Chains A and B, each alone.
Chain A
Amino acid sequence: MITRALVLRPLVHEKLRTVLTVLGIAVGVAVVVAIQLANSSALRAFSESVDAVAGRANYQIVGEAGEISESLLLELQPLWSRGARFAPVIDVEGIIEPSGMPIRLLGVDLLSDLHFREYRYATVLTGSGTAQSAASQYLELFREDSVILPAPFAREQNVAIGDAIALNILGNRRRMVVRGILQAHGPATAFNGSIAICDIATAQKNFSMLGQLSRIDLMLADDDTAAVAQLDRMLPPGVRLERPSRRNERVERMLRAFRVNLFALAGVALLVGMFLVYNTVLISILRRRRDVGILKTLGASPRQIFATFVAEGFLFGLLGSLLGIALGNLLATSILGMVGRTINALYVTSEPQAVTLTPGVIALGIAVGTVLSVLSAIQPAAEAAQIRPASMISAGLQQKITNTRPLVIAAAVLFAAGFAVSRIGPVGGIAVGGYVAVLFVVAAFSLLAPSIVRITARVAGPAASRVFGVVGRLAAASLPASLRRTAIASAALSLATGMMVAVALMVGSFRETVRIWVDQTVSSDLWLRPARNLSNSQTALFPPGFGEEVAKVPFVEAIERIRGRDVLYEDTMIWVGSGEFGVANRFGDLPMVKPRASRDALAAAAARDGVVVSESFSVRFDKDVGDTVQLPVAAGVARFPITGIYRDYSNDRGVVVMDRPLFVRLFRDDRSNTVVVFLKKGVDREQARQQLERMFGPKYGAFAISNAAIRREVMTIFDQTFMITYALLGVAIAVAALGIVNTLAALILERTRELALLRVTGMSLRQLRTMIVLESSLIGLASTVVGVVMGYALSWILIYVINKQSFGWTIEFYTPVALIAASLAVTFLASVVAGVVPAQLAARLNVAAALKSE
Chain B
Amino acid sequence: MRVSLQDVSHDYGVTESSAAVHVLDRVSLEIASGDFVVLMGASGSGKSTLLNLIGAVDRPTGGRILLGDLETSSLSETELTRLRRHSIGFIFQFFNLIPTLSVFENVAFPLSLASVPRREIDERVTTTLQEVGLEHRRGHYPNELSGGEMQRVAIARAIVHRPALILADEPTGNLDSKSGLGVLDLIRKLHETHRSTIVMATHSDRAAAYGHYIIQIADGRVAR
Cα A300 to Cα B114 with chains together (Å) = 9
Which residues between 57 and 99 of chain B lie within 8 Å of chain A, taking CB atoms?
57-59, 77-78, 81-82, 84-86, 90, 92, 94, 96, 98-99
Cα A326 to Cα B112 with chains together (Å) = 38
> Which residue of B has the minimal Cβ distance to A393?
B96
Per-residue 0/1 for A282-309: is the Cβ within 8 Å of any B Cβ (1 yes, 0 no)?
A: 0000000011001111111110100000
Cα A10 to Cα B90 with chains together (Å) = 24
Q: Which interface residue of B15, B59, B99, B174 has the most chain A CB atoms within 10 A?
A: B99
Query: Would you call A1 an interface residue if the criterion is a C-beta within 8 Å of the partner chain's C-beta atoms?
Result: yes
Cα A733 to Cα B135 with chains together (Å) = 52
Residues in A neighbouring B220, C-beta threshold 8 A: none
Residues in A neighbouring B94, C-beta threshold 8 A: 854
Are B100 and A10 touching (Cβ within 8 A)? yes
Given contacts A389-B57, A390-B58, contact A297 B90 (CB under 8 A): yes
Q: Is the interface of A mostly helix, strand, loop or mixed?
A: helix
Query: Would you call B132 an interface residue if the criterion is a C-beta within 8 Å of the partner chain's C-beta atoms?
Result: no
> Which residue of A has the minimal Cβ distance to B13?
A391
Given contacts A1-B108, A389-B57, A402-B16, contact A300 B98 (CB under 8 A): no
Given contacts A1-B105, A389-B57, A390-B58, contact A300 B100 (CB under 8 A): no
> Which residue of B has the minimal Cβ distance to A394?
B48
Are A13 and B100 touching (Cβ within 8 A)? yes
> Which residue of B has the minimal Cβ distance to A386?
B77
Query: Would you call A375 an interface residue if the criterion is a C-beta within 8 Å of the partner chain's C-beta atoms?
Result: no
Query: Would you call B101 an interface residue if the criterion is a C-beta within 8 Å of the partner chain's C-beta atoms?
Result: yes
Residues in A neighbouring B96, C-beta threshold 8 A: 290, 294, 393
Residues in A neighbouring B152, C-beta threshold 8 A: none
Q: Which interface residue of A2, A299, A300, A854 has the most chain B CB atoms within 10 A?
A: A299
Query: Would you call A4 an interface residue if the criterion is a C-beta within 8 Å of the partner chain's C-beta atoms?
Result: yes
Are B99 and A298 touching (Cβ within 8 A)? no
Are A291 and B78 touching (Cβ within 8 A)? no
Which residues between 1 and 35 of chain A lie within 8 Å of chain B, taking CB atoms?
1-2, 4-6, 9-10, 13
Query: Would you call A680 an interface residue if the criterion is a C-beta within 8 Å of the partner chain's C-beta atoms?
Result: no
Given contacts A297-B55, A298-B109, A299-B84, contact A402 B15 (CB under 8 A): yes
Q: Which of A4, A304, A388, A402 sits near B101, CB closer than 8 Å?
A: A4
Cα A666 to Cα B86 with chains together (Å) = 91
Residues in A neighbouring B55, C-beta threshold 8 A: 297
Query: Would you call A403 an interface residue if the criterion is a C-beta within 8 Å of the partner chain's C-beta atoms?
Result: yes
Which residues between 29 and 53 of chain B lie within 8 Å of chain A, taking CB atoms?
52
Cα A144 to Cα B15 with chains together (Å) = 95
Query: Would you call B180 an interface residue if the criterion is a C-beta within 8 Å of the partner chain's C-beta atoms?
Result: no
Q: Which of B52, B59, B101 sits near A1, CB closer than 8 Å?
A: B101
Cα A390 to Cα B81 with chains together (Å) = 13
> Which residue of A has the minimal Cβ distance to B93?
A854
Query: Would you call B148 an interface residue if the criterion is a C-beta within 8 Å of the partner chain's C-beta atoms?
Result: no
Cα A506 to Cα B165 with chains together (Å) = 68
Cα A301 to Cα B81 with chains together (Å) = 6
Residues in B neighbouring A390, C-beta threshold 8 A: 52, 57-58
> Which residue of B has the minimal Cβ distance to A9?
B100
Residues in B neighbouring A393, C-beta threshold 8 A: 57, 92, 96
Query: Would you call B113 an interface residue if the criterion is a C-beta within 8 Å of the partner chain's C-beta atoms?
Result: yes
Whole-angstrom distance from the CB of A698 to the nearest CB of chain B? 81
Per-residue 0/1 for B110-128: is the Cβ within 8 Å of any A Cβ (1 yes, 0 no)?
A: 1011100000000000000
Are A299 and B98 touching (Cβ within 8 A)? no
Are B99 and A291 touching (Cβ within 8 A)? yes
Q: Which of B57, B99, B105 sits near A297, CB closer than 8 Å?
A: B57
Residues in B neighbouring A5, C-beta threshold 8 A: 98, 100-101, 105, 109
Cα A388 to Cα B12 with chains together (Å) = 13
Given contacts A390-B58, A393-B96, A402-B15, contact A299 B81 (CB under 8 A): yes
> Which residue of A has the minimal Cβ distance to B110?
A298
Residues in A neighbouring B112, C-beta threshold 8 A: 1
Residues in B neighbouring A388, C-beta threshold 8 A: 57-59
Per-residue 0/1 for B131-151: is the Cβ within 8 Å of any A Cβ (1 yes, 0 no)?
A: 000000000000000000000
Whole-angstrom distance from the CB of A715 to the nearest CB of chain B? 58
Cα A291 to Cα B84 with chains together (Å) = 16
Cα A388 to Cα B49 with chains together (Å) = 13
Are B85 and A299 touching (Cβ within 8 A)? yes
Q: Which interface residue of B90, B94, B98 has the most chain A CB atoms within 10 A?
A: B98
Residues in A neighbouring B98, C-beta threshold 8 A: 5, 291, 294-295
Residues in B neighbouring A9, C-beta threshold 8 A: 100-101
Residues in A neighbouring B92, C-beta threshold 8 A: 294, 393
Are B113 and A298 touching (Cβ within 8 A)? yes
Which residues between 755 and 783 of chain A lie within 8 Å of chain B, taking CB atoms?
none
Q: Which of B16, B90, B100 sits near A403, CB closer than 8 Å?
A: B16
Are A299 and B57 touching (Cβ within 8 A)? no
Are A302 and B101 touching (Cβ within 8 A)? no
Cα A207 to Cα B48 with chains together (Å) = 97
Cα A788 to Cα B157 with chains together (Å) = 55
Cα A291 to Cα B96 with chains together (Å) = 7
Whole-angstrom distance from the CB of A106 to the nearest CB of chain B? 68
Are A299 and B86 touching (Cβ within 8 A)? yes
Whole-angstrom distance from the CB of B169 to the nearest CB of chain A? 10
Q: Which interface residue of B59, B90, B100, B108 has the most chain A CB atoms within 10 A?
A: B100
Residues in A neighbouring B105, C-beta threshold 8 A: 1, 4-5
Q: Which of B59, B86, B90, B113 sits near A300, CB closer than 8 Å?
A: B113
Q: Which interface residue of B15, B77, B82, B157 has the most chain A CB atoms within 10 A?
A: B77
Q: Which interface residue of B81, B82, B114 has the most chain A CB atoms within 10 A?
A: B81
* Further pairs besides A5-B105, A389-B57: 17, Cβ < 8 Å: A4-B101, A5-B100, A5-B101, A9-B100, A9-B101, A296-B57, A297-B55, A298-B84, A298-B109, A299-B85, A299-B110, A388-B58, A388-B59, A390-B52, A390-B57, A393-B57, A393-B96
List 30 interface pairs A-B (beta carbons < 8 Å), by A numbering: A1-B101, A1-B108, A1-B109, A1-B112, A2-B113, A4-B101, A5-B101, A5-B105, A6-B100, A9-B101, A294-B92, A294-B96, A295-B98, A296-B81, A298-B113, A299-B81, A299-B82, A299-B113, A299-B114, A300-B81, A302-B77, A302-B81, A388-B58, A389-B57, A389-B58, A390-B57, A390-B58, A393-B57, A393-B96, A854-B94
Interface residues of B (CB under 8 A from A): 15-16, 52, 55, 57-59, 77-78, 81-82, 84-86, 90, 92, 94, 96, 98-101, 105, 108-110, 112-114, 157, 174
